[in-house]
Amino acid sequence: MVYLSHIFIAVLYLVGANWALCSADAVIARQRSMVTALIALMVASMITVFGSAVLLGEQPLLPAGPSRFIVLTLTLLTFSVVSFAPLQTHRRQTFSRIFTLMALALGFFATTSLWAAVMCWSLSAVVAWLELKSHKSRGIHRMFAWYQFSAAGFFLAGALLFSFGAVSPALGCFLLAISLRSGVFPWQSWFTHFFEKAPMGIVIAYVIPQFGFFSELMMLQQENSRVLAVVIASLGALTAFVAALLGIAQQESRRALAYLILSQSGLLTFGFAGQTELAVQGALLCWFSLALSCTSFALLIAVLEARRGRLLINRAQGNFSHTPRIAMGFLLAGFASVGFPLTLGFAAEDILLQGTISQYPWLSLMLAVAMALNGFNVLRMFFMLFTGRKKPADEVDIGLRENIALAVLLAPLFLSGLLPQLALQPLLHAYNEKQLNAWQRPQPTMLDSPQSFFSLR
């Protein structure tokens, strides 16, 4: 099965990538990128509203269920990323690669073919590596290649084993691939260096779609093993806890951001391992919440970095009164990232813990401590960046363009935080209609036939 709505927007992004690449400079590339992203966002919004009513043969253009979250969320992220992207770190090639990464993410979620998923997984790593390699002074591309190309190799090996019917060894390869790609403890060293050195737009486009966690969900449904679920839940809780501890010890904002996102992403690993309807619903809501909130938080750090240079958080070095819109946006995005009350993250984390606490009581306690540490980390970053000194001569607040992009990200989080049923209803529909299906076990001789890989609909 192929979702034509995802493919259509992915093709639009590839056209936009080529258009941005043909620009004379980064300013024109950003303008063209904003036009492309806005058109894609409008199309995705119309498909989300009317997609179930439009039939292509016997199949709706976009069936009800979590797929609506995915296509709308990715277009929201793309529009905000290209609107916020500082020109100091984003060249025309960077804008082009952001669109390419988002197109590959949509392709990953658009099909039930395992081989298409392998291709999108691998090509996204190549695109991000090319961007890192183009910055010759940044040796991070070697570390990135070691981890991410290894992850792609394990994913390919798992697909080959899976096609020949060797499901258990295949799942072992998939688990290694997911751990390397997602920075699960103890393979998180590439993650912080990637955040520290790469342009923020590339970081968001590569990390936020979370290929690994959605693959983990399908893997757990394929092999209903209690031991495997416990191992994955333990890795998720440990990743969340260790990353939260390391985050509060950081003295540079990008590294603190990396550990915050890594810790909150541990929630997804832990929630998907719950294998209950409530736990998986909470994990899916967490993905939607973290995608929007962590993206806005990261973009505001990039904007502030473009004004001040490297952002240290070992001492107070800002002034709230002179950049109030950046400061308030930073605080709201940070609160949304850690599940503050009246945000969607609060409801999502509550649902996730309710679905897992009976199965993993001690791991749930570890996760609760990690959440509290992440909240402390957000407040520490806020006070270090927005209190303590006078306004520098060249520091200005964000303008209309950034305000609109920030509102596009934060408004859904607080609106759905007040009315969480708006976000939860599509997930309930997916379960009621049995739209959450596991991989199909192929015959050993069916190597070249498409396999049901991503059936989260």
In angstroms, rounded to a whole number, what is the distance separating the alpha carbons of residues 49 and 62? Answer: 9
User: Among 112, 134, 154, which residue terminates a domain?
Assistant: 112
168 assigned to some structural domain: no
Quote the number of domains for the chain. 2
The reply to whether 93 falls in a domain is yes
pLDDT tens-digit map of 179-236: 898 888 888 888 988 998 889 999 999 998 888 777 776 666 665 567 778 888 888 8
Q: 3-state DSSP call for residue 198?
A: coil
More confident residue, 277 or 336: 336
Chain centroid to CA 295? 8
**What mean pLDDT value characterizes the chain?**
81
- My answer on whether 214 and 331 are in the same domain is yes
- For residue 50, pLDDT beyond 60: yes
pLDDT of residue 18: 94
Q: What is the pLDDT of residues 13-45, one digit of tens each?
A: 999 999 999 988 889 999 999 999 999 999 888
Confirm whether 124 is domain-assigned: no
pLDDT of 435 higher than 50: no
Q: pLDDT band at 100, cuts 50/70/90?
A: very high
- Name which of 286-295, 351-360, 440-449 the model is least confident about: 440-449
Residues 390 and 262 in one domain: yes
**Shared-domain flag, residues 275 and 391:** yes
Strands (E), 398-446: none
Same domain, 235 and 355: yes
- Separation CA 427–CA 69 (nearest Å): 9
For residue 453, being part of any structural domain is answered with: no
Query: Which one of 112, 140, 166 terminates a domain?
Result: 112
What local confidence, expressed as pLDDT, does residue 453 receive? Answer: 37
Helix (H) / strand (E) element for 321: namely none
The answer to whether residue 380 sits within a structural domain is yes
Q: What is the spatial distance between Cα 330 and Cα 301, in angstroms, rounded to a whole number?
A: 8
Among 52-56, 86-90, 183-187, 304-308, which stretch is predicted with the lowest mean pLDDT?
Answer: 52-56
Q: Are residues 332 and 215 in the same domain?
A: yes
Residue 418 is inside which H or E element, if any?
helix 400-418
- The least confident of 47-51, 243-247, 453-457 is 453-457
CB atoms under 10 Å from CB of 194, counted, come to 24
State the pTM of this model. 0.87
Q: Is 412 inside a domain boundary? A: yes
Token representation of residue 63: 């069936």
Question: Among 72, 92, 112, where does a domain finish?
Answer: 112
Q: Could you tell me if 359 and 239 lie in one domain?
A: yes
Q: Per-residue confidence at 420, pLDDT binned at 50, 70, 90?
A: confident
**Based on the domain organization, do 104 and 215 belong to the same domain?**
no
Residues 385, 242 share a domain: yes
List of residues 6+ apart from 441 with CB closer than 8 A: 165, 167, 222
Same domain, 281 and 424: yes
* Angle at which helices 189-197 and 140-163 cross, to 10°: 130
- Same domain membership, residue 418 and residue 284: yes
Both 107 and 214 in one domain: the answer is no
What would the two tokens of residue 419 be? 């009315």
pLDDT for residue 432 = 43
CA distance 108 to 100: 12
SS3 456: strand
Is residue 371 included in any domain, yes or no? yes
Structure-token pair, residue 31: 């303008």
Domain that holds residue 71: 1-112
Asked, for residue 141, whether it belongs to a domain, the answer is: no
